[in-house]
Structure 1
Amino acid sequence: MRTAAAIETFLEMMSAERGAAQNTLESYRRDLEDAAGFASAAGVQLTMAEPATIRAYLDDIAGRGYAATSQARRLSALRQFFRFLYTENIRTDDPTGTLDAPRKDRSLPKILSEADVEKLLGRAELETLDTTAPAGDHLRALRLHALLEILYATGLRVSELVGLPVTVARSDHRFLMVRGKGSKDRMVPLSGKARAAMTTYLAVRDALPNLAGNPWLFPAISETGFLARQVFARELKGLAARAGLVTSAISPHVLRHAFASHLLQNGADLRAVQQLLGHSDISTTQIYTHVMEERLHRLVTEHHPLAD
């Protein structure tokens, strides 16, 4: 089978059988097509590549300055591709089987203190109270406040947040049903403050005739029909600056980290946090346990009979 056809067949399988998201499929396509280009320049089809060719490709992207995480991601895509070829009897071996993943340091997630989150949310709420703001600015302030309250209350991935259907705001349930990676559904609780901010925003949104019947909670003129992640990130940094926070330390993903870390700091169970975040493997969630060190130290200091 030619490489281009094999890649298409692999992507179809990932979509149909494993429910891979569109962003994931596009990432696989880019990685595999890049590897295919390297193999072609070496005079071989990627589908027929030997371990030496794959190893040379990994050396090549390392030489191009790709981080260890990016190298590991590309090797992971190649592993899945060749396992698929083996399963389909297109190949009789897996050339990635003897290759080691690039070593990478696992960095701790950036988080905000609870005080900084309070400052950020407080500033967002304050800006919704400006009655002198033009209608468009007022709507954006209400939208940003709702986005932040929902994000910090639920720990959603930014793609899950901006793509929420409007139906989630039209019920009075205390939980959201979210479709995450791999089309897996999970239930996350919604705080009273988050629901109040969402309801206030929705009342103004629904008053706009051009949004009648729009299926998205945060609609926008975009390819998807809802607010782009980049727009949300830009508005968040602007809010952080107005709140007197360091903008380089603020992003939607940092707020997701804050959600998880603050739960653990206040005694939440690691398995519960894993479920709320939508992590399929608890080892992904365990990176947040560094925040528990201070809490455990305080518990020992306060309650151990021999503590100073």
Structure 2
Amino acid sequence: MQFQDTTALEMFVDYQRAQNLAVTTIRNRRSILTTFARKTGTLVDCDVFTLRRYIGRAEDVSPGTRRTERGALIAFYTFLHDEGLRADNPSTKLPVVRVPKGKPRPFTREQIDAMLNSGAYSRTRAMILVGYYQGFRVSSIARVHGHDIDLASMTIGTVVKGSKAVRLPLHEVVAELSLTMPADGYWFPARDGSGGHVRSTSVTDLITKAKVRAGITDPKLTPHSLRHAFGTDLVEQGVDIRVVQELLVHENLSTTQIYTGVSESRKSAGIATLETRSVPERSGRGAARIAA
């Protein structure tokens, strides 16, 4: 990247930190913008036609990825315009990316059991348990700390999207697990001696390896599928969708509905609730004419 591009990107990073945006959001946006600059050869001075060409490039890119890239570009060029670093904002003319409604991609209970019994080390097994029994994202799994656990109230604290701190009910499996984990430190400490926790990517890698060892080949199943399984299984057990929404800490119910699949057995049970009724074998029109 050119000097002005690098400088502008660092200024944008500083601005986002001042907004107290999540570290993962800042890191992902930096990666998107750096890749964009490398592939197009421009960043600060980019025009709307280059932006559109990049978002709509003829590559195997998912609609969700295109939408995420669009969001990062809009945030960056809006920042440049507001700060007077550009006279215009080319991103205002970017079309909306149409994304099909998402579908749940949960692990089955059998698949979760297979991962737990795949030869995974205790560290990885603990990550899988927290992901499934608490419905945590990998970022929340990575930073579980002993101080987050309150066995007296049976709750666990975490930080969700938007840097929002919440306390959630603690599942008994995770409560039991806590007795074997550090009470005064991170459950999954970084191995570099920094005293911090592992990166989210490390959690993803370890759970993915357990998935592969378990013989699960579906590419659509990812560590995030543990969260989908959490939501889906709660619904299967008859938990109200609003309760599931609160446990997943979703702002909108529509987001929760993406996470919560409905099994064929529940569909069949649902349609079976409609009462049967007797249906006449004949129309009865002939008898009606005779009577007339």
- TM-score normalised by L of structure 2: 0.76
Post-superposition CA distance 1:1-47 (Å, at most 9, x none): 94333322222222222x22222212211222333445545xxxx33
Question: How much does 1:170 deviate?
Answer: 6.5
> What's the secondary structure of 2:189's corresponding residue?
coil
2:226 match: 255
Question: How much does 1:50 deviate?
Answer: 2.9
Post-superposition CA distance 1:57-115 (Å, at most 9, x none): 334xx245443332322211111122223333444543222222444444523212345
Question: How much does 1:184 deviate?
Answer: 1.0
**In 1, are the aligned partners of 2:135 and 2:230 still within 8 Å (CA)?**
yes
In the comparison of the two structures, how many residue pairs are matched?
273
Give yes or no for the alignment of 1:47 onto 2:44: yes
Post-superposition CA distance 1:121-169 (Å, at most 9, x none): 5x48xx8xxxxxxxxx9xx43x444333322221001121121112124
Q: Select the residue among 167, 177, 198 that pairs with 1:187.
A: 167
Sort the Cα spacing of 1:219 and 1:238 in 2 relative to 1 into closer, same or farther, 3 A: same
> What's the secondary structure of 2:156's corresponding residue?
strand
Partner Cα separation in structure 2 for residue 39 and residue 147 of structure 1: 39
> What's the secondary structure of 2:91's corresponding residue?
coil
1:132 match: none
Question: How much does 1:55 deviate?
Answer: 2.0
Q: Counting helix residues as a fraction of each chain, which structure ranks higher?
A: 1
**In 1, are the aligned partners of 2:21 and 2:162 still within 8 Å (CA)?**
yes
**In the TM superposition, what are the counterparts of 1:52-201 in structure 2 within 5 Å?**
52-59=49-56, 62-117=57-112, 123=117, 140-141=121-122, 143-169=123-149, 171-199=151-179, 201=180
Decide which structure has the larger Cα Rg and report it.
2
2:257 match: 286
**In 1, are the aligned partners of 2:149 and 2:157 still within 8 Å (CA)?**
no
- Quick one: percent identity of the two aligned structures? 26
Amino acid at match of 1:217: W
2:9 match: 7
Partner Cα separation in structure 2 for residue 269 and residue 276 of structure 1: 11
**Superposition CA RMSD, Å:** 3.4
**In 1, are the aligned partners of 2:141 and 2:203 still within 8 Å (CA)?**
no
Query: Which consecutive residues of structure 1, in runs of 5 or more, have no partner in the other structure?
Result: 128-136, 207-212
Partner Cα separation in structure 2 for residue 294 and residue 89 of structure 1: 59
Query: Which consecutive residues of structure 2, in runs of 5 or more, have no partner in the other structure?
Result: 279-292
Partner Cα separation in structure 2 for residue 26 and residue 238 of structure 1: 24
Question: How much does 1:52 deviate?
Answer: 1.9
Partner Cα separation in structure 1 for residue 174 and residue 234 of structure 2: 16
Partner Cα separation in structure 2 for residue 157 and residue 194 of structure 1: 15
Q: Select the residue among 215, 221, 230 that pairs with 1:246.
A: 215
- TM-score normalised by L of structure 1: 0.73
Sort the Cα spacing of 1:94 and 1:297 in 2 relative to 1 into closer, same or farther, 3 A: farther
> What's the secondary structure of 1:96's corresponding residue?
helix
Partner Cα separation in structure 2 for residue 54 and residue 37 of structure 1: 13
Sort the Cα spacing of 1:12 and 1:233 in 2 relative to 1 into closer, same or farther, 3 A: closer
1:264 match: 235
> What's the secondary structure of 1:187's corresponding residue?
strand
Question: How much does 1:178 deviate?
Answer: 0.6
Partner Cα separation in structure 1 for residue 40 and residue 210 of structure 2: 47
Partner Cα separation in structure 1 for residue 225 and residue 9 of structure 2: 34
